[in-house]
Amino acid sequence: MKKQIIALTFISTLLFSGFAKADEGMWLPFLLGRNYEDMKKHGLNLTQEEIYSINNSSLKDAIVSFGGFCTAEVISDQGLILTNHHCGYDAIAEASTEEENHLDNGFWAKNHKEEIAIPGLTATFIISIDDVTEQITKNLTDDMTEEERATKIKEISAQLTKEAVGDSNYKAFVRDFFEGNEFYIFVTETYQDVRLAGTPPESIGKFGHDSDNWMYPRHTGDFSLFRIYSGEDNKPAAYSENNKPYTPKHSLPVSIKGYEKGDFAMVFGFPGSTDRYLSSFGVEQAVSLEQPKRVEIRKVKLDIMKKYMKESTEVRLNYASKHAQVANYWKYFIGQSEQLKNNKVADKKRELEARFTEFAEENPQYAEVLPMIENTYKFTNNSVYANVYQSEFIYSVDLNLNVFRFVLLENYVKQGMGDRAYASFKERLMSFYETANMDLEFETLEAVLKMYYKDIPEDMMPELIQKAGDKGKLDKLVKKARKKSIFASKESFEKFDAKVQDSEEFPIEKLKKDPLFQIIESIYTEYEALTSDEEYIQQMNNLKRANRLFVKGYREMDADKTFYPNANSTLRLTYGSILPYSPEEGKEYGIYTTLEEGLKKEDPNNPEFHVSPKLKELFKNKDYGRYANDKGEMVVNFISNNDITGGNSGSPVINADGELIGTAFDGNWEAMSGDIFFEKDIQRTISCDIRYVLFIIEKYGEAHNLIEEMEIVE
């Protein structure tokens, strides 16, 4: 469950239904006092200081932002961290070769020396969080334009972050919350040496693949293990053979005691983004325009990748992570659109908007808020596809993205930064060539370009593509690019690069004549013209202002409620209970699934449901060690009503005593609308039971060394 906010909805991140409930809410841990009594009523046995403290070790010191896109948790005093298999997927694929295929076969380091360094992978801890709303808002005025407001916020934030870190190795950033009504500063520490310590094979870590993604009941061992390394002083250091395992401030004890229906459960992590206050107008645009088009484009990209991946193990390894990323949100958008309709989310939004309209009648400062939001969505309906294609075609197809960077090069040259930019773009392009299959890349280019031609209005269509499309010659346009572009192969670019090195001036004009460059540049030029149009900019500014006022007014209207801010990749805590749910009348899904149930899904003819012979042997012999439940079952996954989203992948599920009972990895299909509206009766977090994790490590992977360094509570 990797979550990235895409589309016009990211511009209009209104919050919705953000008041306190035991199950709903992504709470800032440094404001825990607002919820602490309620947490105790639901079974929590910890003090506030044991959960979040600046001066003493606490749970927050075991929570890691894994690579900036997932969450992990420290589970030993030697810096061992646990996250999802799908979070480590790119690293596992990168560490794999045809000879040592860790994706297919798994990997278990039997000692520290065997652990595999993953260049570029980081682990970030939160040192402190503070409220800086007053320092910022006292310098803002109502008559400021949105541009002036943003400039002032950036200026003050820069000063605050500078003061916060001083001469330390820490970093800091300021984020706005409640649509720019509040501001908090986060001080962090990032470790750059993170190594792969263990992973099950894909047949366990990704069992069910796309078919089971976002589904429950589930039977997936979605976990992987990494280790953080530090310098001799336990501080962050670049990779070195002399680095030592990091000694954490706190590591989570691992509980194999199990749980029962109704037991307290909390999830700590870094949820990426939610749109809980998205207006009914935003919901309608997403369901009718944006999401169906994203699904259509991603399906084309997936089909092409699948074709080439089936033909070659090398291609499959090189594109495994990319395919997983595209497939994850292909299915996400299908599910979200379906459940937004099924759960009548737009109607629920309209109910709130009707109340807000009544409130605004007595509070005229809010009278224009909803009309302003509605007008912006009406204005942008015609440009939705342009936004979608820029995201899904230019930014998300690796060949196109690499060429796009060179489209921006001329501006860097004019600013006197051409050499530095060129070197950076070249390095990324060379890295792309190392694993790229150019047949796949150009087939994707042609297929999606034909879709672009059919979908984009003529007044937003580049002349180059319009002419070729009108004549039915888009395929020839792409073939010309494949044959003559300097970007078509590593060898072609190296010839161009040699001329660059011999030239006193950068050959911008030669780039502009390149056929592939021209295709990408023409699409971007039209998109830039759209987004730099004065009316478009004004509409976006209107929306930002309206969003901010809506949230401000909503909190005044329902002043008795405790609101939580939208997710924005900052550290949050959600608490609730381990509970079943009923997807439809007469049917209930229990709180956990078992290995026996999972093995019944085995299909030797479907790679998504392959089962390892060794796992079947362990099941046959009931060789579960100390990890079976009281009924003798090997529990695989379980559900709770915690409130999570993408970015929470890999988050620890913690019991009332602060002990690890699982790692969160997904949400359920029936509540796919949950990023926009929390469905309290059916929304569930799907997690991998820690007992299954330990069973796979010890019995399947025979990595007793990893088990021995954990504090296991029986």
- Per residue in 299-310, pLDDT (tens digit) is 999 999 999 999
Active-site annotation holds for 263? no
- Report residue 89: phi and psi, to 5°: -55, -45
The predicted pLDDT at position 19 comes to 39
Q: Spot the catalytic one: 222, 398, 514, 675.
A: 222
Stated as kind and residue range, the H or E segment containing 593 is strand 592-594
Q: Spot the catalytic one: 86, 102, 219, 323.
A: 86
Q: Enumerate residues 6+ apart whose C-beta is below 8 A from 6.
A: 294, 329, 391
> Rg for the chain (alpha carbons), in Å?
26
The greatest distance separating any two alpha carbons of the chain, rounded to the nearest whole angstrom, comes to 76
Stated as kind and residue range, the H or E segment containing 493 is helix 490-502
Q: Which of 476, 408, 467 is nearest to 442 (CA)?
A: 476
Active-site annotation holds for 193? no
Question: What is the distance between the alpha carbons of residues 701 and 704, in angstroms, rounded to a whole number?
Answer: 8
Give me the residue label for tokens 């970015």: 647
The predicted pLDDT at position 1 comes to 57
Give me the residue label for tokens 């007008």: 375
Tens digits of residue pLDDT in 155-195: 999 999 999 999 999 999 999 999 999 999 999 999 999 99
The predicted pLDDT at position 597 comes to 97
Of all residues in the chain, what percent carry a pLDDT higher than 90? 92
The dihedral formed by the CA atoms of 653, 659, 661 and 662, expressed in degrees to the nearest 10:
40
Residue ranges in the chain modelled with pLDDT below 50: 2-22
| Residues 267 and 652 sit within 8 Å (Cβ to Cβ) | yes
Stated as kind and residue range, the H or E segment containing 476 is helix 474-484
The number of beta carbons lying within 10 Å of the beta carbon of residue 4 is 16
Q: Spot the catalytic one: 279, 337, 640, 649.
A: 649
CA end-to-end distance (rounded Å), the chain? 30
Active-site annotation holds for 649? yes
CA atoms within 13 A on the CB side of 259: 33
- Report residue 182: phi and psi, to 5°: -140, 160
| Residues 385 and 289 sit within 8 Å (Cβ to Cβ) | yes
Q: Enumerate residues 6+ apart whose C-beta is below 8 A from 141.
A: none
Residue 631 DSSP SS3: coil
Domain boundaries, the chain: 32-122+192-274+595-709, 280-535
CA atoms within 13 A on the CB side of 662: 30
